[in-house]
Amino acid sequence: MQQHTRQTSPSTLFQLNGIPPMDKAIPLGFQHVVVAIVSTVSPALLVANTANMAADQKIMLVQVSLLMTAVAILLQLFPIVRGFGSGLPLVMGISFILPTLMIERFTFAEMMGAQIIGGIAGALFAVFLKPIRKLFPTIVTGTVVMTIGMSMYPIAMRNMAGGYTDNFGTAPAWIVTLFTLLVVVICDNWGKGIIRLGAVLWGLIAGYILAVILTEIGVAPLVNFSAIGEAGWFSLPRPMQFGVSFNTTACISMAILFVANSLQTIGDMSSLTVGGFDRMPTDRELSGGILAQSVGAIVGALFGGMPTCSYSECVGIVTVTKVVNRVVFAIAAFALLLCGLVPKFASVLTTVPECVLGGAVISVFAVITMTGVRMVTGSGRFTNRKATIVGLSVAVSIGITQVDGCMSGLPEVFDTVFGSFAPVGAALIAIPLNLLLPKNQEDLDDEQEQREREEKQMEALKSKEVSAK
């Protein structure tokens, strides 16, 4: 009886295993659903509109995206076999970068064929990750994590201002945004228990209520409920419903993007384990996570499911709340699965205005950035070598993505790799700098201390695994 009480105590929220109280686990899982569902549905709608899909195809694409997101999360949480899946509370979802880059140049069927080839490239990268792990020390992954947070600021800011709607830049949009952010800050800094842990969720709910009120009294059309009435109650995806074809250029481009996407996953998993477990990820967790992500993309392509990536905003929620229990994330996955099977539920969640989402997640992106800062500073010795690696990598990678056409005179592959997503460029700059720049005694001492800390963390992790068995 005592053991049962211990397993269901609130402290299990901060442990990977165990059964937490459902009255706390459900709302904590739901805040990941709200954040993830908008990020999942948005690229699906954008791709569907760009590809001029029929109405029924558009609805099906949104459904498949939600289902793929749920399956991808479950594969990470509960590895089917050893080495397949990270075993970490990593929220996955449809990538915004990969499909939006591809659909501009290729048909959707060609994109699905390229996704299969890209998934194979990602799986090979995962298999050979252990021998090349030395290319990704803390200074490199920390730089990538920092860049992930910083590169998200323009996305958050556009959402805060109203997103891609007629409300962009208007006073009502900013009122809702700032009110949402205020609620998040108050809950996070003055709240206790579930109030503090669910700060992002409470901010989203409060902002949504205010947006509905402003809509109903005629101040601004912030919330549109029309999609709820048009959505059906139940439907299943069909294999090969969008077709699959292979284009050589598309396949090469997607293979490069998949490897680049894996670098982001490494950064997010590093941020997750540092923020949630106070350690770096193991080789098995990294390779298993990337392998599950890649194989899932291959299978998903047969149903029209677009490639997934780790959601940095949800990683940020973990670093803020420290809630890492698998049950919380399983609840989120099954909620997304239900939304994918029942379009009515999904349609309700998609009515959340962009300004509400922006006000809630801007603080999350800030936490991701500061997690990266904490990783690169390490023991406190921020040497000139570290400053060069971090400073140049962040400055050049973010600078390239901020200036359209600055690589137009170079082969297209350069713009595809460096101009698509800043963390990718940051990794590709930080890796050679870390290998080439000379190390003085202070750098060597710092690396030795870092290795000793990681060895102690790994020993502690192995001891926990043995005790659990």
pLDDT (0 to 100) of residue 46: 67
The per-residue pLDDT for range 370-383, each reduced to its tens digit, is: 878 887 886 567 78
C-beta of residue 180 within 8 angstroms of C-beta of residue 360: yes
CB atoms inside a 10 Å sphere around CB 360: 33
- Confidence bin at 199 (pLDDT 50/70/90): confident
Indicate whether 189 pLDDT > 60. Answer: yes
46 against 27, higher pLDDT: 27
310 token code pair: 């780790």
Q: Name the residue among 263, 260, 267 with its Cα closest to residue 375.
A: 267
pLDDT reported for residue 441: 77
- Average confidence (pLDDT) over 339-364: 78
Distance (Å, whole) CA 201 – CA 204: 5
- The single residue listed with the structure tokens 């098995």 is 284
pLDDT at 316 exceeding the cut of 70: yes
Torsion (CA) 15, 18, 24, 29 in degrees, nearest 10: 80
Single-letter amino acid, residue 203: G
Most confident of 63-77, 196-210, 349-363: 63-77
**The pLDDT of residue 396:** 93
pLDDT at residue 6 tops 50:
no
> Mean pLDDT: which of 131-135, 297-301, 343-347 is highest?
297-301
Between the two ends of the chain, the Cα-to-Cα distance in Å is 21
Query: Please, which contacts does 436-440 make with residues 24 or more away whose CB atoms are closer than 8 Å?
Result: 437/385, 437/388, 437/389, 438/385, 439/385, 440/383, 440/385
Q: Is the pLDDT of residue 455 over 50?
A: yes
pLDDT at 451 over 90: no
Statement: residue 174 has pLDDT above 80:
yes
What does pLDDT average to over the chain?
81
- Per-residue pLDDT, averaged over 249-256, amounts to 77
Q: What pLDDT is stored for residue 215 in this prediction?
A: 93
In DSSP terms, 309 is beta-bridged to: 93
In this prediction, residue 369 has a pLDDT band, given cuts at 50, 70 and 90, of confident
If pLDDT is split at 50, 70 and 90, which confidence band does 4 have? very low
Q: Tell me, what amino acid is at 426?
A: A
Q: In the predicted model, is pLDDT for residue 235 greater than 50?
A: yes
Mean pLDDT computed over 375-397: 85
Res. 1 pLDDT band, cuts 50 70 90: very low
Please give the residue that has the higher pLDDT: either 337 or 309: 337
Question: Per the structure block, which two tokens stand in for 152?
Answer: 């998200």
Task: Look up residue 12 and give its DSSP letter.
Answer: G
Closest CA relative to residue 389, chosen from 446, 350, 351, 465: 446
Q: What is the pLDDT of residue 290?
A: 92
